[in-house]
């Protein structure tokens, strides 16, 4: 996939052969959207507000850190948020699956477990998003965040947020398989806001709000002890593992922090084994928070995670606050600040 992804973002000439397939893909996506819009497919409307956070492209954009920030911010405002996720990469014996900090990533998927650990808030995994949302509402949640839910149209939504990597943008602007897009770029005209992770390197189709991903702390995998990001708790060159949508972003962060490393990019949602953490030179091993949830059970004393946090621009926070003021359900007795 990495070789194909590189071709999408440099618009390799050989991708022209895939354009007919991309056209067919776009037509199918459009037909599916029209089926929901006309009522031929049923969309469930929640009695509480639903915020969808997703992206148009395959690969990492910083969506999960924004979901974690959004959940914590809503809780600070007096809401009782819950997160519903597809749980990609997980295989639970039954659904909906309630995810807690001690859940097995093999059942829940890595991102839902990471979100549960980072927020301490209710997280439910269910391929049937409406069913998962209903479980959250039954548990007392008065607002639902749908992680990676932009294309899951069976769940109605009140706010749609699209996250894009500022450095990579939307690649060559074409749909799969000729480009990285899950939906045509025209979809941006119907979302409520676009959040741009990092400074854009080229013009984007619509205006958006800025966001940065800031390294927050070093976390020891075996005992959970954390250190300030400025206080690097290990010495020398490290092995850096990244089984995320866009590994180069993690390696660039380590470089910016002055951490010399050998980069080991792995497929997104990589299924780790103890062998992935063994290196003959016995140097420290550093990974992302998403990788860490799958390595915690067999990690050794040399393993560290670098936690990052989303920091949206104040203009986005002000916009979101205003939108939410108009979405509070009439039956909600909580005063949200």
pLDDT in tens, 229-243: 999 999 999 999 999
What is the Cα–Cα distance from 289 to 244, expressed in whole angstroms?
10
Let me know: does 170 contact 164? Beta carbons within 8 Å. Answer: yes
What is the Cα–Cα distance from 188 to 166, expressed in whole angstroms?
15
What is the Cα–Cα distance from 194 to 45, expressed in whole angstroms?
23
pLDDT at res. 60: 84
% of the chain at pLDDT higher than 90: 90
Let me know: does 60 contact 244? Beta carbons within 8 Å. Answer: yes
| Count of beta carbons in the 10 Å neighbourhood of residue 142 | 22
Spell out the alpha helix ranges (H) of 83-187: 105-108, 110-119, 129-138
* Region 2-210+312-325: CATH code: 3.40.50
pLDDT at res. 59: 82
Let me know: does 51 contact 146? Beta carbons within 8 Å. Answer: yes
Cis amide prior to 133 (ω within 30 degrees):
no
pLDDT at res. 136: 98
pTM: 0.92
CA dihedral (196, 199, 204, 208) positive or negative? positive
| Residue 331 pLDDT greater than 60, yes or no | no
Q: The tokens of 84 are what?
A: 């519903």
pLDDT band for 328, please (50, 70, 90 cuts).
low
Cis amide prior to 177 (ω within 30 degrees):
yes
In the block, residue with structure tokens 């004393």: 301
Q: The tokens of 202 are what?
A: 């080229």
List the end-to-end C-alpha distance of the chain, in Å, as a whole number: 44
pLDDT at res. 89: 86
SS3 state at 132: helix
> Apex CA 165: angle with CA 191 and CA 154, to 5°?
35
Domain chopping of the chain, boundaries: 2-210+312-325, 213-310
Give the residue from 53, 26, 51, 7 showing the smallest Cα distance to 186.
26
Looking at per-residue pLDDT, the higher value among 59 and 110 belongs to 110
Maximal C-alpha separation, the chain: 62
Mean pLDDT, the chain, whole residue set: 94
Distances (CA, A) of 153 to 68, 87, 148, 184, 272: 22, 16, 11, 16, 32
Which of the 8 DSSP states describes residue 236?
S
Mean pLDDT for 208-233 is 96
pLDDT band for 215, please (50, 70, 90 cuts).
very high
pLDDT at res. 334: 40
pLDDT at res. 16: 96
pLDDT band for 114, please (50, 70, 90 cuts).
very high
């Amino acid at each position: 996939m990495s070789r194909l992804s590189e071709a999408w973002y440099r618009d390799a000439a050989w991708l022209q052969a895939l354009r007919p397939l991309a056209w067919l893909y776009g037509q199918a996506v459009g037909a599916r959207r029209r089926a929901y819009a006309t009522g031929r497919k049923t969309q469930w409307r929640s009695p509480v507000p639903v915020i969808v956070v997703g992206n148009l492209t395959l690969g990492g954009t910083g969506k999960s850190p924004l979901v974690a920030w959004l959940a914590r911010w809503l809780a600070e405002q007096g809401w009782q948020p819950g997160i519903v996720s597809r749980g990609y990469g997980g295989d639970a014996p039954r659904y909906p699956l309630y995810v807690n900090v001690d859940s097995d990533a093999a059942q829940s998927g890595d991102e839902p477990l990471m979100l549960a650990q980072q927020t301490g808030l209710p997280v439910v995994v269910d391929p049937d998003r409406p069913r998962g949302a209903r479980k959250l509402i039954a548990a007392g949640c008065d607002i639902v965040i749908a992680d990676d839910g932009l294309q899951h149209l069976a769940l109605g939504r009140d706010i749609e947020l699209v996250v894009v990597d500022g450095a990579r943008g939307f690649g060559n602007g074409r749909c799969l398989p000729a480009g990285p897009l899950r939906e045509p770029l025209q979809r941006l005209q119907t979302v409520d806001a676009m959040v741009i992770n990092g400074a854009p390197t080229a013009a984007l189709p619509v205006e958006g709000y800025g966001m940065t991903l800031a390294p927050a702390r070093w976390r020891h995998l075996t005992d959970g002890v954390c250190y300030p990001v400025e206080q690097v708790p290990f010495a020398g060159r490290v092995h850096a593992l990244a089984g995320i949508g866009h590994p180069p972003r993690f390696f660039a962060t380590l470089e910016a922090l002055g951490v010399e490393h050998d980069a080991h990019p792995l497929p997104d949602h990589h299924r780790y084994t103890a062998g992935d953490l063994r290196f003959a030179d016995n140097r420290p091993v550093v990974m992302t928070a998403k990788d860490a949830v799958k390595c915690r059970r067999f990690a050794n004393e040399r393993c560290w995670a670098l936690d990052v946090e989303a920091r949206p621009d104040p203009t986005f926070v002000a916009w979101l606050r205003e939108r939410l003021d108009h979405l509070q359900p009439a039956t909600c007795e909580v005063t949200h600040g």
